[in-house]
Amino acid sequence: MAVISMYEKEEEQLKSMYENVQVPLDSLDEAIFAGFQKAKSEEKRKFRRKRWLFTLAAAAIILLGFFTSIRLSPAFANYITIIPGMEKLVDLIRDDKGKLLAVENDYYEKIDVSQEKNGIKLTIDGAIADENGLVLFYTIESKEKLEGLRNENVRLESLDGKKLDIGTISMGSSLFRGETSHSDMFEFYFQSPLAAKNLELKVSVEGTNLKEQFTLKFDLTKEIQEKKSYALNKTITIEGQKISFSEADVYPLRAAIHVKMDPHNTKRILSFEDLRLVDENGEMWNKISDGVVASHISPDEMIIYLQSNYFREPKKLYLVLNKIQAVDKDEVNVVVDTKKLQILKQPKGGHLSDLRVEGNDLIFNFHIEKEFNSFLFTTIKDGNGKQIESNTSFMGGRMEKGYAEIGVNIPDIKNQPNPISLELTAYPSWIKGNEKIKIK
C-alpha cells in the first residue's frame, strides 16, 4: 500500500530506536502524556480542554504509535488514503488507542450534516457511540480566517422521547484563531445507558460582532455495542493505604475502573496517574490523555477512565500500577489570603509560591523539578465555607526553568471573604508500589 511504502524506512528506524530504549513502566505514562493538561471531572460539571503544553518526547512516541498502527492494520491505512476527511479524524484521536481501534473496526459512523449561517459552516462529520458516551467529530469552516471564534452552550437533545442523562461534556478547543477550517470533537458521557438514536446538537458560535446559533439534527444508525463487565473485588495496600478495585466496565470509547479507598487511610488519594490495562503481550492501554480522566463520587470513591481495549480479545488482561498521587488528609487544601497575598497552608514540599491577583485571576508560581502537567485544584470555597464557582483555570509557563504559572478565575475576587480554600485534585507527591491485578 502506498502509505506503508512511503514511510517504511522511517518506521523501521523509529521502531529500532524505540525497541532499544529502556523505559521504566512507572515513567512511561509520563512520557506519553507529558505536556497534556489533565482536569478532574465531577458529576454534571462541564469540562473544557484548557491550555496545554506539548513536548518533543510525547510527539515522538505518539508518532511512533501512529506508524505502528498503520503497519499492523493495513485496513486502517486504507481508511486514511481512500476515505476523504479521515486524516482529520485520525489526527484528533491518534493518542487514544481505544478510539483508533473503534475506527479500525468500522465502528465509526459517518454523519455529514451541516448548517451554514453568516459565512460560518458547522458540520458534524461523524460519530462513535456506545452505551456510556457519544463522540461527535465536527468541522467549522469560514471563507475568512476564524478570528477569535469560540463554541458556547453546547447542548445535545433527544428527538425521540428517550431521556439523555448527560453527566459530562468535553467541548474540545474553544477558541479558533487564524484558520479557515477547524476540526475537533464534542464528547458526551452519560449517567445511564444511551438509548436515543434521533438527536439534535445545538451550538452557539460566538466572536467579535458574531453570535450564531446552530441546530443540527442527525440519526445514529449503527447498532450500539454492549459493555463488557468484569468483577475484580481486589484490595491492595500501598505504603499503608488500602485501595479496593471493585469492577471494570469496558466500552468501545473507554474503560471505567471503579475504585474505593478505605476511609481510615491517612492519605487522600488524588490520582492513579499510571494505572493501565496490560495484556499478555505487554501491550498497554493508558489513562485518557486529553479529556475526562475520572469521575469523583466522593473523596473515597472514584471511577477512573482508561483507553479502551474493547476491540481486542487478549487471552489475559491485567490492571497495573506503580505510583499514585497522594497527600496527607490534613493537607488536602491550599489556603490563601488574597488581601495580604499570603499562602497560609499547602502540602509538604512548598511547591507553590509568589501568590498574586491579576484582575479576577488567582495565580501561583508552581515549582517542580520534573515536568508535571496535572491541574492542581478542584473545589474552591470562601472564608465562610461557601463554594465559589469558577469556570476558567489555566496552567502554563516555563517548565524548563523549573516552574509554571497556575491559576484560577474567581469571580469578584476582591469582595470574596478570606481565607480562600482550594481543594487539591493533583499534587507532586506519590506513594509507590508494584501492583498487578488480574482482570481475565
Interval 120-129: pLDDT, tens: 899 999 999 9
Mean pLDDT of the chain: 81
Report residue 190 as a C-alpha cell: 452519560
Percent of the chain with pLDDT over 90: 59
Tens digit of pLDDT for each residue in 340-379? 999 999 999 899 999 999 999 999 999 987 778 788 999 9
User: What pLDDT was estimated at residue 391?
Assistant: 75
What is the distance between the alpha carbons of residues 56 and 400, in angstroms, rounded to a whole number?
13
Picking from 368, 340, 342, the residue whose alpha carbon sits closest to that of residue 354 is 342
Per-residue exposure over 56-88, b if at least 16 CB sit within 10 Å of its own CB, e if not: eebeebeeebbbebbbebeebbebbeeeeebee
Q: For domain 228-326+431-438, give its CATH number from 2.60.40, 3.30.70, 1.20.120, 1.20.1280.
A: 2.60.40
Residue 311 binned pLDDT confidence (cut-offs 50, 70, 90)? very high
Average of pLDDT values for 29-39?
Answer: 34
Least trusted range by pLDDT, from 62-76, 90-104, 234-248, 377-391: 62-76
| b/e map 216-251, b = 16+ CB within 10 Å | bebebeeebbebbeeebeeeeebeebebbbeebbbb
| Stretch (H or E) spanning 357 | strand 352-358
The whole-number pLDDT of residue 79 equals 53
The reply to whether the predicted model has a pTM over 0.85 is: no
Strands 377-381 and 361-367: unpaired
Q: CA torsion, points 22, 276, 53, 136, in degrees to nearest 10? A: 140
pLDDT recorded at residue 49: 33
SS3 8: helix
Query: What's the rounded mean pLDDT across residues 5-24?
Result: 37
Q: In Å, how far are 40, 99, 305, 426 from 294, measured between CA atoms?
A: 6, 18, 6, 12
Q: Which residue has the higher pLDDT, 62 or 102?
A: 102
Q: How confident is the model at residue 166 (pLDDT cuts 50, 70, 90)?
A: very high
Across the range 186-194, mean pLDDT stands at: 94
Compute, in degrees rounded to 10, the torsion defined by CA atoms 428, 429, 435, 438. Answer: -60
Question: Residue ranges of the domains in the chain?
Answer: 108-224, 228-326+431-438, 330-424
Residue 335, CA distances (Å) to 151, 187, 270, 365 in order: 33, 34, 18, 15
Report residue 124 as a C-alpha cell. 458534524
Q: Judge whether 108-224 and 228-326+431-438 match in fold.
A: yes
Class of domain 108-224: mainly beta
- Count the alpha carbons within 13 Å of 244 in the hemisphere toward its beta carbon: 11
- Separation CA 164–CA 294 (nearest Å): 20
